[in-house]
């Protein structure tokens, strides 16, 4: 499973239950902050038409791969370019095999994120990846960039390759959960060699879906849907900071790094949902502007707003009901936090004249 703050994989059975009560199977649903795409994919499989969006570039690649395709793209130009004649392998598999066999390269990831590198801002070297893996990532990243520049891959093929690379990078990253910082000692997983593995394409449901990369507040007015699912960040932790390395892979760029942890400048992707003073305004804008009468909102007991505050806010737009789901919380050994954590699913039926 993709380790992503707020990933809803575990909550899917309850969520799908709520969706099936609120919308017929062929309805159009929006997953407005789709992250890894886990909810969007489940909705697609259930027969819904999905409009999925997120502000992060890595999320766009996950969503394109999982919502707009039902089989690997052909990679025909790459096959021609590399003169691949192995008929046993699909174009996708052959392309991955080629990328896996590239000679390592001492470039950006090696310098910024490996113990033998020399970070450009003078910080001590970092340990996000072994030097070997960082050099491999450099070679793969730069090859993908060259193919894009030479018009040898389509934008869907780019998304599939970057989705596949990110999944492989997640397997060997020397981190505890997020990319906010690296571990001081390499863990067992991070010592394994990075390998691009073909992903399983989804065949169920429609590919007549839509993927958008933007802020929810910017696109709400452009969307018409039967149901809108909102799964916002619920703490101050910004996704752009915590997943900066995935964003750099997704963009294929070479940003200046900041501080000891080597973050990219992420201010252009900071979320107002992570700020107590702005969150109400953002929720209100989305709910008011979207042409949609039903909103399903996930939120955690640990969040910036309490359940009462949320109900208060949403009640000004219409009728509100909610469900509470009890979770076992992951705790470090001597944590003082309680063992159980409540997750809320709030259902708002908008009354058009209100709000």
Ligand X SMILES: C[S@@+](CC[C@H](N)C(=O)[O-])C[C@H]1O[C@@H](n2cnc3c(N)ncnc32)[C@H](O)[C@@H]1O
**What is the Cα–Cα distance from 291 to 227, expressed in whole angstroms?**
10
What is the rounded CA–CA span in Å between residue 235 and residue 225? 27
Among 29, 39, 196, 348, binds ligand X (CB under 6 A): 39
Piece in contact with ligand X (CB under 6 A), picked from 32-40, 115-123, 137-145, 153-161: 32-40
Q: Which of 15, 18, 28, 35 binds ligand X (CB under 6 A)?
A: 35
273 near ligand X, rule: CB under 6 A: yes
Site residues for ligand X, 57-76, by CB under 6 A, read 59
Please tell me the count of residues contacting ligand X according to CB under 6 A: 24
266 in contact with ligand X (CB under 6 A): no
Q: Alpha-carbon dihedral of residues 56, 58, 64, 67, nearest 10 degrees?
A: -80
Q: Which DSSP symbol is given to 346?
A: E
Tell me how far, at minimum, the Cβ of 219 lies from ligand X, in Å: 8
CA angle 216/219/222 to nearest 5° reads: 145
Q: Supply the minimum distance, in Å, between the C-beta of residue 36 and ligand X.
A: 3
Q: Is 15 in the site for ligand X (CB under 6 A)?
A: no
Q: How many alpha carbons fall within 13 Å on the CB side of residue 90?
A: 11
| 56 touches ligand X (CB under 6 A) | yes
Q: What is the DSSP letter of 329?
A: P
Among 147, 215, 283, 317, binds ligand X (CB under 6 A): 215
- DSSP H helical ranges for the chain: 12-22, 38-45, 57-67, 76-82, 91-100, 108-113, 131-149, 155-172, 216-219, 239-242, 244-251, 279-289, 307-315
Residue 305's nearest CA partner among 220, 215, 240, 235 is: 235
Residue 250 CB, shortest distance to ligand X, in Å, is 12
Residue 248 in contact with ligand X, rule: CB under 6 A: no
Nearest residue (CB) to ligand X, 36 versus 248: 36
Contact between 138 and ligand X (CB under 6 A)? no
Contact by Cβ (8 Å): 88, 82 = no
Told to check if 7 binds ligand X by CB under 6 A, we report: yes
Q: Residue 54 interacts with ligand X (CB under 6 A)? A: yes
Contact window for ligand X (CB under 6 A) among 69-77, 246-254, 271-279, 309-317: 271-279
157 is a site residue for ligand X (CB under 6 A): no
Q: For residues 96 and 230, which CB has a smaller minimum distance to ligand X in the complex?
A: 230
Give me the least distance between CB of 50 and ligand X, in Å please.
Answer: 12
Contact between 2 and 170 under an 8 Å Cβ cutoff? The reply is: yes
| Residue 344 near ligand X by CB under 6 A | no
């Amino acid at each position: 499973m993709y380790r992503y703050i707020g990933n809803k994989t575990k909550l899917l059975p309850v969520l799908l239950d709520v969706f099936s009560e609120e919308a017929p199977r062929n309805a159009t649903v929006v997953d407005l902050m789709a992250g890894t795409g886990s909810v969007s994919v489940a909705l697609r499989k259930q027969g819904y038409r999905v409009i999925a969006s997120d502000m992060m570039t890595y999320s766009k690649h996950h969503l394109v791969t999982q919502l707009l395709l039902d089989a690997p793209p052909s990679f025909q130009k790459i096959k021609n370019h590399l003169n691949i004649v192995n008929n046993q392998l699909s174009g996708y598999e052959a392309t991955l095999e080629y990328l896996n066999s590239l000679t390592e390269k001492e470039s950006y990831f090696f310098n910024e994120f490996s113990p033998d590198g020399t970070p450009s801002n003078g910080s001590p070297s970092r340990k996000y990846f072994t030097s070997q893996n960082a050099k491999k990532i450099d070679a793969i990243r730069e090859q993908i960039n060259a193919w894009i520049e030479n018009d040898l891959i389509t934008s869907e093929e780019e998304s599939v390759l970057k989705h596949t690379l990110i999944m492989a990078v997640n397997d060997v990253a020397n981190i505890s959960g997020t990319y906010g910082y690296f571990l001081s000692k390499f863990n067992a997983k991070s010592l394994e060699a990075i390998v691009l593995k073909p992903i399983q394409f989804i065949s169920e449901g429609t590919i007549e879906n839509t993927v958008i990369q933007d802020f929810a507040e910017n696109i709400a007015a452009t969307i018409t849907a039967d149901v809108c699912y909102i799964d916002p960040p619920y703490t101050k932790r910004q996704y752009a900071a915590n997943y900066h390395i995935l964003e750099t892979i997704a963009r294929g760029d070479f940003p200046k790094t900041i501080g000891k942890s080597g973050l990219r400048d992420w201010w252009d992707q900071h979320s107002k949902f992570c700020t107590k003073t702005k969150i109400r305004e953002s929720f209100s804008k989305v709910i008011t502007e979207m042409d949609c009468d039903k909103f399903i909102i996930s939120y955690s007991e640990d969040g910036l707003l309490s359940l009462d505050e949320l109900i208060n806010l949403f009640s000004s737009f219409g009728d509100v009901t909610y469900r509470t789901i009890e979770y076992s919380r992951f705790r470090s050994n001597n944590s003082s936090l309680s063992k159980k954590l409540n997750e809320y699913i709030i259902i708002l039926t908008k009354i058009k004249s209100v709000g």
